[in-house]
A and B are shown apart, each in its own frame.
Chain A
């Protein structure tokens, strides 16, 4: 990775190969469209910065690790802002999910979403946002991205048993919530 062109080519191919996966991970994790794009971009900028010290054979795993760290940062910033505007933000967040889903945000590309898709998106977001951050990331990485627990423990910096128990707890909470919310969403799921 010594010369500039090689580095650029590596980062460029990483963007082409993994941008979508990274964006989706951020999208599910944060639930916010605009911020997910910003985080996804920052992931590759960080990758470019630290690629020489990257000892990972699994580039996607490394990128997800950076994405996960940036998302944690994002939540920390959100928490600070929330201290002042809790109730307003709650309302704004719900509205944002709905608007995002309906393709009403500025450059949103999801204008062709049907009401069913919209329901499904809101339903999934409610489920994911209802569990703690630590459990959410493990659930997304395992179920959505298909990582092994060993890889998840490496990405999240916890032990294998912690990753497994977070997954178990997350899934249990989601299932409970699904059972409660199922009726509200018309038994679609």
Chain B
């Protein structure tokens, strides 16, 4: 494959000779490292409240609003017919939205914020995940209570019908986010979310899926989903710490 690259190699070699590295700059880099090591970087420490405040300002309001709208729609779902099927699909949509909301920080210049303010990226991601997760779970809980109270729907079953697709959609989206194309292209992530919603929409049409005898299946699926989700989250944070995700949009 590279047998005919000698000309380009030669060109690189010629130019390598002419690139003179400024010793001053190298010294400056070393000095900066020493300063940082000694913890004298003046800009570094911000209080948790300050980080939180700035984070709220930087959050993408459009996605947040969309998320909230879906949540409200979901809560009102308690009054609908075919609640099992609808709750499965809505929970899926919520799962995808939660992850898209988190992923937005990789597409919206958060790295620049991290660079200039010395935020802890892990802190930022955890904050985002907590925010979107809390909103989604609050909506799931509210829908559960509404449906359980007003319609007399069995709470445990409904909880499973919501949480299983929610967790699985999060897993699918997170897998995509960890891959190269998912980090670069938001469309891939959105497509994964849509795919998951379609998949669960089809699955929700399977007969006998929402009968009491299928509860064991839902329970197993829930625990499997939680396990996969834990592994994916671990992988995600590992990639973050290594700097693989941090800088690439």
Contacts and interface: CB of A to CB of B under 8 A. Distances in A.
Interface of A: 4, 7-8, 11-12, 15, 19-20, 23-24, 27-28, 37, 40-42, 44-46, 48, 50, 53-55, 65-66, 69-70, 72-73, 76-77, 107, 109-110, 113, 117, 120-121, 123-124, 127, 139, 142-144, 156-158, 164, 167-168, 171, 174-175, 178, 189
Chain A facing B: main interface SS:
helix
Nearest to A164: B1
Contacts of B33: 8, 11-12, 15, 44-45, 48
Given A8-B34, A178-B7, A55 B18 contact: no
Given A117-B18, A144-B12, A50 B7 contact: no
What range describes how many residues of B lie at the interface? Answer: 35 or more
A124 B15 contact: yes
A11 B2 CA distance: 34
B7 A124 contact: no
B123 to A, nearest CB: 13
Contact of B2 (A45, A73, A77, A142): A142
B36 interface: yes
Contacts of B9: 143
B151 interface: no
A53 B244 CA distance: 12
A69 B243 contact: yes
Contact of B19 (A24, A77, A139, A158): A24
B30 interface: yes
Interface of B: 1-2, 4-5, 7-12, 14-16, 18-22, 24-26, 28-30, 32-34, 36-37, 109, 111-112, 115, 180, 183, 238, 241-244, 246-249
Contacts of B20: 109-110
A45 B109 CA distance: 20
B36 A46 contact: no
Contacts of A48: 33, 36-37
Contacts of B5: 143, 171
